[in-house]
Structure 1
Amino acid sequence: MRRDGFLKSLAALAAAGALPAPAQTALALKMMIPANPAGGWDATGRALGKAMQDAGAATSVSYDNKGGAAGAIGLAQFVNASKGDPNALMVMGAVMLGGLITGKPPVGLDKVTPLARLTSEYNVFVLPVDSPLKTMQDVVGQLRKDPGSVKWGGGSRGSTEHIAAAMIARAVGVDPAKINYVAFRGGGEATAAVLGGNVTVGGSGYSEFAEYIATGKMRAVGVTSDVRLKGVNVPTLKEQGIDVEIGNWRGVYGAPGITAAQRKALIDALSRTVKHKSWQDAMDRNGWTPAWLAGDEFAHFVDAQFASLRATMAKSGMI
């Protein structure tokens, strides 16, 4: 076989994942982040891309932010542009499931390839620092008095903070359909709204608000965890008499139509990455909890989460 023919054959085998691990080259990845910059998905995608390069699992990573509709717009673009591409990844999570349930877009997660769950995180609710309300009990009091006067700000409709706000209303005897929820396309917009006093209450993953809470620019009044977060002196909703607990998680999908060998190669690359110091440092820096779950187990988890979220949202009057 001529040398150029041999090299083409070698490249084809590597792309299909058919070569032994030492012979496979690192990937030139394309990362779809279906949200605007400065939010949780953006932080996850960019931290993952850097860690994959640091771990030798990727030679380069390019990023494409496409926000809107709880990730459904980015998902549709990913499906249409990445068919059969073994170098394409998309960050996603619980927020996307909520958006798919409420928005019912034509393109769903059944069109893409589940790879792995990476992290879990709980939401925190915060008040603007100069708000006349000081505690979650103050928020509840105002909510009971005039539900529409409490402007909840957070991610897209169907996000975990949106669901949590509806659950809070229901738990304190307020019709969830009456909550005034303002959806933003990314964490950066939600943060700006809280800092500018344009919403009554802001909700997001704790890591997105952490620096503003630490510097006193936001007042944290409750987290959606069962027990207080490690190293975080913020009361849970439950310990304040509000029976609400809901978690967030983030994962990665591959392109439609990739082969089983290509899927395995991507999962192996992700598995190697999450063990690397670069990813561990990002986890610590952002306060993320490791939640590795890969392949078919991850696919089954997503199916179960979809059913569970749908039931929760129906119970809370959101659908």
Structure 2
Amino acid sequence: MRRRRFLVGGLGAALCAAGGVAGCGTQRATQGAAGLRTRFSINPGGRRWARAGSVFAGVARAAGFGTGEGPRVTVSGLHALAAAELNQGQSLLDAATPLARLAGEVEVVVVPHNSRFRDFGDFGAALLSRPGQTLLAGGPQGDPDHLLFGLIAKGLGADTRQVDYTGYPSRHEVVAALSSGKAAAAAGRVAEWRTIIGRGRIRALAVSSAERVPDLDAPTLLESGVRVDFVDWMAAFGPHDMPDESRESAVGMCDEVTRSPGWEAACRDAGWVSIPLSGDDFELWLASEVRRTRGVLRDLGMVDTTKSTICRGGCGIRH
């Protein structure tokens, strides 16, 4: 398979600035013919991935990698991809080299404890019949929460362009919207909702992952009749001009880290699901994720479909 390049939202500036993040660099000594050392510098692609970058770098050190300079590996994810699509690809000019998918955060659909929706079936029926009157909430527009509702609406067969979604900058404001009746349902990462669900103020209707989430009494969307398997994923990327040799070494490092018991333990502690996928397989998966993300943003009316649909790089593969 030939080397492929994908455009991942928001990574251009992040990759340029990644070297300035303190404490996240890693390296590993490898013995080649000349006894040279291969080094990596692992950094988050922005504040959103600060924890992910730190955890990944920490597990890498525990697996035998040390701190140092070298080819940059930037941890970023779905939010950046969606942001780039909303930007009409302007920030995606061959910004990154895909290396490996690392982990994901499962999303949950929630309602107030006294909601008229007894279960996801009730909610789905309302969204299907009255998408413009079933008020939804979550993070800022275009974020994974919004994407999830778009996918749910499409999976139900609802008119996605009529979906009434309000984005809020904080989870506290989403909870307030639910409590006041400004929203009938909301979506967000399970880790952010566990405590409030446990207090009984909010009920979980369904989770977005293919399998149920431990210690959370909620079916999956697949079990609920909606063909959606979705996580707010994070992944490792190299610079757009990363040499093939460095890419192969970085993919190998990602494989070793994500196969380690330390990574599994770190994901459990953080409330993430480990979903490792690397190299060419990750690139193929990423191509489909770009298409899915672009499609749901178009269905939600957030991408101008009157403009040219010619690929700027983000719609797939450029040999």
Does the TM-score normalized on the shorter chain lie above 0.5? yes
Q: Which residue of 1 aligns with 2:99?
A: 115
Q: 1:277 to 1:173 in 2, by over 3 A?
A: closer
Q: After superposition, where does 1:40-189 map in structure 2 within 5 Å?
A: 41-59=49-67, 86-108=70-92, 110-129=94-113, 135-137=119-121, 139-140=123-124, 143=127, 147-172=131-156, 174-184=158-168, 189=170
Q: 2:229 aligns with which of 224, 246, 254?
A: 246
Q: 1:20 aligns with which of 6, 23, 31?
A: 31
Distance 1:276 1:216 in 2: 37
1:149: how far off?
A: 5.0
Deviations 1:30-58 (CA, angstroms, capped at 9, x unpaired): 332363xxxxx444233213222333424
**How large is the Cα RMSD of the aligned pairs?**
3.7
More helix by share: 1
Percent identity, please: 24
Deviations 1:47-95 (CA, angstroms, capped at 9, x unpaired): 21322233342427xxxxxxxxxxxxxxxxxxxxxxxx84433223334
In 1, are the aligned partners of 2:40 and 2:250 still within 8 Å (CA)? Answer: no
Q: Which residue of 2 aligns with 1:297?
A: 281
The number of aligned residues is 271
Distance 2:186 2:76 in 1: 21
Q: 2:253 aligns with which of 269, 287, 293?
A: 269
Give TM-score, length-normalised by structure 1.
0.68
Q: 1:33 aligns with which of 46, 52, 62?
A: 46
In 2, are the aligned partners of 1:129 and 1:217 still within 8 Å (CA)? Answer: yes
Distance 2:285 2:46 in 1: 21
In 1, are the aligned partners of 2:147 and 2:297 still within 8 Å (CA)? Answer: yes
In 1, are the aligned partners of 2:28 and 2:39 still within 8 Å (CA)? Answer: no
Distance 1:43 1:295 in 2: 23
Q: 1:108 to 1:24 in 2, by over 3 A?
A: same
In 2, are the aligned partners of 1:28 and 1:87 still within 8 Å (CA)? Answer: yes
In 2, are the aligned partners of 1:224 and 1:244 still within 8 Å (CA)? Answer: no
Q: Which runs of 5+ in 1 are unaligned?
A: 1-14, 36-40, 61-84
User: 2:54 is paired with a residue of what secondary structure?
Assistant: helix
2:174 corresponds to 1:194: yes
1:291: how far off?
A: 2.1
Distance 2:128 2:289 in 1: 30
1:184: how far off?
A: 4.8
User: 2:67 is paired with a residue of what secondary structure?
Assistant: strand
1:115: how far off?
A: 1.2
Q: Which residue of 2 aligns with 1:69?
A: none
User: 2:241 is paired with a residue of what secondary structure?
Assistant: coil
Q: Which residue of 2 aligns with 1:80?
A: none
In 2, are the aligned partners of 1:118 and 1:290 still within 8 Å (CA)? Answer: yes
Aligned residue identity for 1:99: A
Distance 1:227 1:18 in 2: 38
User: 2:98 is paired with a residue of what secondary structure?
Assistant: strand
Deviations 1:204-229 (CA, angstroms, capped at 9, x unpaired): 23334334334445321112244533
Distance 1:252 1:131 in 2: 40
Q: 2:196 aligns with which of 209, 212, 229?
A: 212
1:108: how far off?
A: 1.5
In 2, are the aligned partners of 1:55 and 1:276 still within 8 Å (CA)? Answer: yes
Q: Which runs of 5+ in 2 are unaligned?
A: 1-25, 304-319
Deviations 1:135-170 (CA, angstroms, capped at 9, x unpaired): 445544664676455442334544443233123334
1:124: how far off?
A: 1.0
